[in-house]
Structure 1
């Protein structure tokens, strides 16, 4: 099967369920230590001694919050990380660690121009150039500047045979539609993984699933999403994408079963929207409408607070489950203004076609 998992060496990692529990513990523990460090500074500890420790602990907590936000579909974690990053930089505006942490947090919420400004400031404050290049590559890739991103990834300091570099290159080639080269790099990255955390290989398998999902190979996409969930059973995006495939494949009841738990643990409206579609497909129209309304309200809220990050998802919602092509077109146009990527152009074209469809039907 094209793109399906092969009998390659499987990375040996710890239990994904235990790892998620430990992640929660790490976040709680760091938050307590950070509050104590901050309290000590407020009570008169020497700022020169406490500022680096606060920045280092805060940056670690920000990265863990963003990781949990991705794994469990928690927008609240992204927002908590962003708020903490702002406080860190306010307290130490010239600290490279704090600036790097805020850059990563801003990039997570698609505030790429501000993230780039933070990276420039971090460079002036003495941040490691290889670290800066790796972060710049993330921003450039998100904006569709693939050749520049690739050059930075290849020169970011880690050996070219390392898991991180190979994985980043695999995802970059996948986004460019270069599936053969992406597959080779995905395989090689998996072979090179030597750590015990289940999160990096699960994320890599998920991104491989996304590649085949976008290419229309639903069987291969399903296989990689399932591989990601075997490693981390609570991986919300993998479960959500599996539900999409089940819905497309004519198994809406299976999609409902996958989505219900996500709507209890995640505050991302994407899962509520997909649940509405799945419920409608199984004939539970009244319940479907309730979830559609819930998703609509949540998208309105997130577009207001984080337009760069959620305009595209909200546009897709209104073009499909939301059934409002005018709102979908407006949001797709806003999204195109934030970044003229290939996907942004494709979404805009979809929105224009959807908006014109009723007029064409009438004529």
Structure 2
């Protein structure tokens, strides 16, 4: 199995390092402007956010926070975006822009039923139909409803760029294991990219890498992750998945090199958990224990606050680094209640097998 290079068509974009700096600046600037109008204060939001401009600025800030959360692995950004979205809708409950922004934050945290309800309300509030269909497709895809998701992507095609449509279809085909068609669409999306931001292309390369990673072609996956990393040097998902490849190949020192700075700057416990695994493998047992405990505490915190988004990741942690099959099974069952996807069922079966192995090994 061989994946195509993600550099068949290599558009020129802004430096990833500069783009991240600009992203910080945009977020800070919008936050200041909103705070000056009182939009950041719960009491004043009812009046200040009522203005269309304030809602638009708030929605823009939410999208930027979600982007930074993804790029840098910052759960706190997702939570800040969700808090701001609740404020916007509280102040403008019938505004389509505010409802659409909240739907995106809820989908990011895997609160899919609530996100779908917000999209329905946003439709009544005048939100763009193509945008709504694209967002609904994302939710359906996450729930494993691929056929329905594809239909909505095609319905949204008229109001979307070809880059956006081809990229969405590529990811959908990738998740269905249809790698030949996915490769064609990934290339098509790159060919039609006309922007200067490096983030959409880095995300595209990462998704392509994730496809080959799932298919077991680690060389192709590495090539795509490295392309995303070159595009945005601090891109957390690509760095984390590169580290996973190093772990799977026994290159533990290389994994430590990738993960140590990431675990220090990201509040996503997945990186701390993988760092603990790599450190243990190279004999740094005490340091590994510290990172394992940090990951365990953080997973407990996130599962308590956002169970839909983190039950599956936490289950995987307890089935591996955490070494608690009972806890892993409990979380896998919880995750299966949220979504009946093939991946959720596979996690549940894995947890059952782990618990059985522990039971059989018991004296």
TM-score where L is the length of structure 1: 0.96
- Residue 328 of structure 2 corresponds to residue 324 of structure 1: no
Cα distance, 1:353–1:12 mapped onto 2, change above 3 Å: same
1:10-29 equivalences under 5 Å are 10-29=10-29
> 2:45, 2:137 → 1: CA distance?
38
Q: CA deviation at 1:4?
A: 4.0
Query: 2:202 maps to what in 1?
Result: 202
Cα distance, 1:62–1:263 mapped onto 2, change above 3 Å: same
- Residue 230 of structure 2 corresponds to residue 230 of structure 1: yes
Q: Secondary structure at the match of 1:54?
A: helix
> 2:284, 2:46 → 1: CA distance?
63
Cα distance, 1:45–1:65 mapped onto 2, change above 3 Å: closer
CA contact 1:37–1:50 (8 Å) conserved in 2:
no
* Consecutive aligned runs of 4 or more in structure 1 exceeding 6 Å deviation: 39-46
Q: CA deviation at 1:41?
A: 11
Cα distance, 1:163–1:44 mapped onto 2, change above 3 Å: closer
1:39-58 equivalences under 5 Å are 51-58=51-58
Number of residues paired by the alignment? 363
Cα distance, 1:40–1:6 mapped onto 2, change above 3 Å: closer
CA-to-aligned-CA distance 1:310-347 (integer Å, 9 cap, x gap): 00000000000000000000000000000101111111
> 1:256, 1:186 → 2: CA distance?
31
> 2:90, 2:206 → 1: CA distance?
36
> 1:19, 1:120 → 2: CA distance?
34
Q: CA deviation at 1:50?
A: 5.0
> 1:84, 1:333 → 2: CA distance?
31
1:271-290 equivalences under 5 Å are 271-290=271-290
> 1:217, 1:40 → 2: CA distance?
47
Query: 2:86 maps to what in 1?
Result: 86
Cα distance, 1:80–1:40 mapped onto 2, change above 3 Å: closer
> 2:292, 2:90 → 1: CA distance?
40
> 2:335, 2:45 → 1: CA distance?
46
Cα distance, 1:215–1:41 mapped onto 2, change above 3 Å: closer
CA contact 1:158–1:165 (8 Å) conserved in 2:
no
> 1:357, 1:47 → 2: CA distance?
60
- Residue 347 of structure 2 corresponds to residue 347 of structure 1: yes
**Alignment gaps of 5+ in structure 2:** none
Query: 1:133 maps to what in 2?
Result: 133
Q: Secondary structure at the match of 1:234?
A: coil
1:150-229 equivalences under 5 Å are 150-158=150-158, 162-229=162-229
Cα distance, 1:297–1:161 mapped onto 2, change above 3 Å: closer
Q: CA deviation at 1:39?
A: 6.4
CA contact 1:276–1:321 (8 Å) conserved in 2:
yes
Q: CA deviation at 1:358?
A: 2.4
> 1:5, 1:308 → 2: CA distance?
34
> 1:330, 1:176 → 2: CA distance?
28
Q: Secondary structure at the match of 1:144?
A: coil
CA contact 1:226–1:238 (8 Å) conserved in 2:
yes
CA contact 2:130–2:159 (8 Å) conserved in 1:
no
Q: CA deviation at 1:194?
A: 1.3
Q: CA deviation at 1:296?
A: 0.2
Cα distance, 1:4–1:253 mapped onto 2, change above 3 Å: farther
Q: Secondary structure at the match of 2:283?
A: coil
Superposed CA RMSD in Å reads 2.2
CA-to-aligned-CA distance 1:220-247 (integer Å, 9 cap, x gap): 1111000000000010110011001011
> 1:287, 1:46 → 2: CA distance?
49
Q: CA deviation at 1:255?
A: 0.2
Q: CA deviation at 1:125?
A: 1.4
CA-to-aligned-CA distance 1:161-220 (integer Å, 9 cap, x gap): 700000000000011111111111111111111111000000000011111111111111
> 2:19, 2:265 → 1: CA distance?
17
